[in-house]
Amino acid sequence: MEVQIFVNGKKEPLIYKGDRIDILDFEIDSIKYKQIRYFNLKKGISKSEFVQENLIKKIVEK
């Protein structure tokens, strides 16, 4: 599974790959974020990143 997140000010998208990808809404100090959690079940790895919601142009799942 792959998710591409297009961000204002960057030509290339942020690309996340994994066996499972979750995109969640998250808010800290009145700032809205998208939390991207991605898992590689074969290696037993999981990572999480936050991207400010107002910077995201679009999200594409492949």
- pLDDT, average across residues 36-59: 95
Instruction: Give the angle subtended at the CA of 28 by the CAs of 6 and 62, to the nearest 5°.
Output: 25
Per-residue pLDDT tens for 6-36?
A: 999 999 999 999 999 999 999 999 999 999 9
pTM confidence score: 0.86
- Cβ–Cβ < 8 Å for 25, 8: no
Neighbours of 49 (CB within 10 A): 13
